[in-house]
Amino acid sequence: MTNRQLFLSHVAQTSPSPIGLEIVKAQGIKMWDVNGKEYIDLISGFSVCNIGHSDPDVIRAVKEQVDQYMHLIVYGEFVESPQVLYAKFLADHLPSTLNSVYFTNSGAEATEGAMKLAKRVTGRSKIIGCNKAYHGSTQGALSIMGSEYWRNAFRPLLPDVYHYDYNSDELVEAIDKSTACVIVETVQAESGVKCPGAGWLQAVRDRCSETGALLIFDEVQAGFGRTGTLWAFEQYNVVPDILLLGKALGGGMPLGAFIADATLMNAFTNKPVLGHITTFGGHPVSCAAGLAAMKVLLEKDLISEVPGKEKLFLKKLTSKKIRSICSAGLWLALGFSSFEICKQVIDRCIARGVVSDWFLFAPQCMRIAPPLITTESEIEFITSVILNSIDETVQ
C-alpha cells in the first residue's frame, strides 16, 4: 500500500476530503512533496510557523535539549530550566499583570485551564463567548465554540455558556455579577480575520472590571507578530486578565499556555491542591524550541516588516472577482461568492504550487497567512499565482 492509502486507512480522518499532500521536507516558506514538487506555504500550520519552517536556531535548541533530557515527571514538580527560562522571557514581553505562565500541550488545553481558573477565582459559572469563535475542540472549548453546527452533535456540553455576536453591544450588556469570564479572540480567526470595532474591547474590559468577571483574550493564532505587533491586544490598549497562547508559541513543537497574574494562578494550589495538572504540558523540548523561535522573531525584527507586507498584499490583490478582503497584518481573508468558488481557486493555487485553505466559519474565504519571513518578491509571486488562479476559475 502507498503512504496515501495507509494515511487514509490508519490515520483518523476529520473530513472526507483532506488536502492529502505528502510532504517530505519543509524549509523557510517552502515545502516539498514526495515527488520533489515545491510548494509555498500560505497556511503556516495555522500560524504555527511564524518564523518559517526548520529554522536553524530552533533545530539547534531542540537538539541541545534532547541531549540533556526529554521528559521527567508531571509538569510543575521539578525545576526544568526550559520552562523557567521561557516563562520568564514571555513575562518580560507582557504587561506586568501577565506574569505567571501555565504551559499546556495546545491552545485547546489552554482554553480549558483558563475556564477552570476563572470559575475557581470568581466562584461563578457563567461564561460568555462569541458566535463564530473557535477556541479548540475539547469538550469545554467546544462548549464555547461559536457555532451550533459543530456543537450540536456532541451535546450535552457545559451549561451556563452564552454566545453573542463579536463586536456587539449585546455581549457587553450581558456581562453581570454572575459572569465568571468573557472569552474573546482579539482578532477573530476562523470567521475570516475579523477585527474588533473601535472601543469595543475597551467596553468589554470596562464591564468585566465593573462586575468582577475575568477577561480572557485568545491570541492562539493572533499572537507572535501575526497581526503586526507582538500581541494583537497591544493595538487596542486593553490588557486581559488571562491570555491564551498556542500555535507559534512552540516554534513548531506542541505547546500552549494560559497566562495570568500569580495572585490568580495560585488558586490552583489549594482547595483542591493540584487544581490543574498535565503530564506533558510545558515539555522541555517544546519550551526550548519555543524560546528559540521567539528570540528569532524579536532579534530579526520580523514584526516591524509585517505592516508593509500587508500593504503589498492589499495593493496587489485587486480584482473585481474578489468580493471582499479582510486583513490583520500578514493574515488575510479573500472572500468569494461561495465556498465552491473559493475551493476551486484554492485547488488551482495548490496545483500551481501555492498552498492555501479556507476558514472554518467563513468557507467562502481563502486563507493567506504565510510565515512572517516571506519577502516582498515572494509576495509578488504569490499574488500573481492567486490572481491567475482566480482569472482561470471565476467567471
Per-residue pLDDT reduced to its tens digit, 15-42: 888 888 889 999 999 999 999 999 999 9
Q: How confident is the model at residue 342 (pLDDT cuts 50, 70, 90)?
A: very high
Beta-carbon contacts of 191 under 8 Å, excluding residues fewer than 6 positions away, are 132, 133, 146, 166, 359, 361, 362
pLDDT for 381 equals: 98
Average pLDDT over residues 34-54: 97
| pLDDT at residue 3 is higher than 90 | no
Please, which pLDDT band fits residue 4 given cuts at 50, 70 and 90? Answer: confident
The answer, yes or no, to whether residue 192 has pLDDT greater than 90, is yes
Higher pLDDT, 68 or 16: 68
pLDDT digits (tens, 9 = 90+) for 275-327: 899 999 999 999 999 999 999 999 999 999 999 999 999 999 999 899 999 99
What would the mean pLDDT of 377-391 be, rounded to a whole number?
97
pTM: 0.96
Residue 76 is predicted with a pLDDT of: 84
What are the grid coordinates assigned to 326, written together?
479582510
User: For the purposes of burial, counting CB atoms within 10 Å of the CB of 236, is it exposed (0-12), middle (13-18) or buried (19 or more)?
Assistant: buried
pLDDT, position 10: 83
The yes-or-no verdict on residue 153 having pLDDT over 90 is: yes
At residue 13, the pLDDT reads 86
Note the pLDDT of residue 394.
85
Extract the C-alpha cell encoding 176.
453581570
Measuring CA to CA, how many Å separate 299 from each of 5, 18, 51, 220? 43, 37, 11, 21
Give the whole-number percent of the chain exceeding pLDDT 70: 100
The span from the CA of 226 to the CA of 218, in Å, is: 13
pLDDT band at 379 (very low <50, low <70, confident <90, very high): very high
Q: What is the mean pLDDT of residues 214-243?
A: 98
Q: Measuring CA to CA, which residue among 265, 303, 246 is closest to residue 90?
A: 246
pLDDT averaged over every residue in the chain = 96
Mind listing the pLDDT tens digit for each residue in 56-66? 999 999 999 99
pLDDT band at 74 (very low <50, low <70, confident <90, very high): confident
Over 90: is that where the pLDDT of 47 sits? Answer: yes
Q: Which domains does the chain have, with CATH numbers?
A: 3-55+301-393 (3.90.1150.10), 56-299 (3.40.640.10)
Which residues make beta-bridge pairs with 218? Answer: 185, 244
pLDDT of residue 395: 78
Is the pLDDT confidence value at 8 over 90? no
Is-cis flag, bond preceding 156, omega within 30? yes
pLDDT exceeds 90 at position 107: yes
Model confidence at 162: pLDDT above 90: yes
User: For residue range 126-147, what is the model confidence (pLDDT) as tens digits?
Assistant: 999 999 999 999 999 999 999 9
